[in-house]
Amino acid sequence: MIKVQENDFDVNLEIKKITSQNKNIGGVGLFIGIVRDDYDKKLKSMTLEHYPIMTEKMLEKINLEAKNRWKLIDSIIIHRYGKLYPGDQIVLVATFSQHRKDALEACEFLIDWLKTKAPFWKLEATNTGNKWVKEKNSDLEAVKKW
Amino acid sequence: MHIKYFSWVRDQIGVESENITLSNEITSVNDLLNYLKNKSEKHNKALSDISVIRCAVNMEVVNLDFSIDDNDEIALFPPMTGG
């Protein structure tokens, strides 16, 4: 299930919607991305912009890829856009499988992929002004292993 | 052709999108970028460093040698930073 939305999400609720429907699920791989204020940065807000429709298409595509590579019973990607503040939830990736290995690996694959291939851009507002977040080499390296 | 801009590419060019009619000489993304660079000072500045420009044609990320035609939706943007 893919959702691109401005509103916050309730992790527990989203997971229970799936686990209550399928009793074969033995484990959930989970990643929750949070807006981080690095200690010296004094982040005021982070605004996420995206490319509507392309975002959904790309997320559907990668979700399908995860399902082809691992034995997943279900999966959730919820990615927010709009103005967020330190401590706010940005993204939820949850993968459901019979056994933990499939869930954990697929979850890591999905979040690594999202970092560099989902059409989102982050604008940080700090005391010294606004700055678009640059691509990180560590993220580019992380996605290569898949 | 409809062209969309995102993030700082849009900020620097100053518009979210624009329509242009392609001449016969423009057949690839690279040709389009060269055309746009000559369109205005703002376009030229925004697109000066091609290494930080990514392109999607009809919502699929493509290389600069990708062929394009008048019916395509093109998007130009910096490297993506999701998650």
Question: Mind listing the pLDDT tens digit for each residue in A7-53?
Answer: 999 999 999 999 999 999 999 999 999 999 877 778 999 999 999 99
Decide if B82 and A135 are in contact by the 8 Å CB cutoff. no
Would you say domain A2-144 falls under CATH 3.40.640.10?
A: no
Angstrom distance (rounded) from CA A131 to CA A141: 23
* Chains A–B, number of C-beta pairs less than 8 Å apart: 67
What is the band of B40 on the pLDDT scale with cuts at 50, 70, 90?
Answer: very high
- Does B10 have pLDDT greater than 90? yes
CA-CA distances (angstroms) from residue B37 to B11, B21, B32, B73, B77? 15, 15, 9, 18, 14
Angstrom distance (rounded) from CA A79 to CA A93: 9
Decide if A122 and B56 are in contact by the 8 Å CB cutoff. no
Which pTM value belongs to this model? 0.94
Put simply, whether B8 touches A (Cβ < 8 Å) is yes
User: What fold, for B2-77?
Assistant: Ubiquitin-like (UB roll) (3.10.20)
Chain A residues whose beta carbon lies within 8 Å of the beta carbon of residue B83:
33, 79, 90-91, 111, 114-115, 118, 120, 139
Please give, rounded to a whole number of angstroms, the shortest distance from the CA of B15 to a CA of chain A.
Answer: 15
Q: What is the ipTM of this complex?
A: 0.94
Please give, rounded to a whole number of angstroms, the shortest distance from the CA of B63 to a CA of chain A.
Answer: 14
Residue environment code for A46-81, b if the CB has 16+ CB neighbours within 10 A, otherwise e: bebbbbeebbbebbeebbeebeeebebbbbbbbbbb
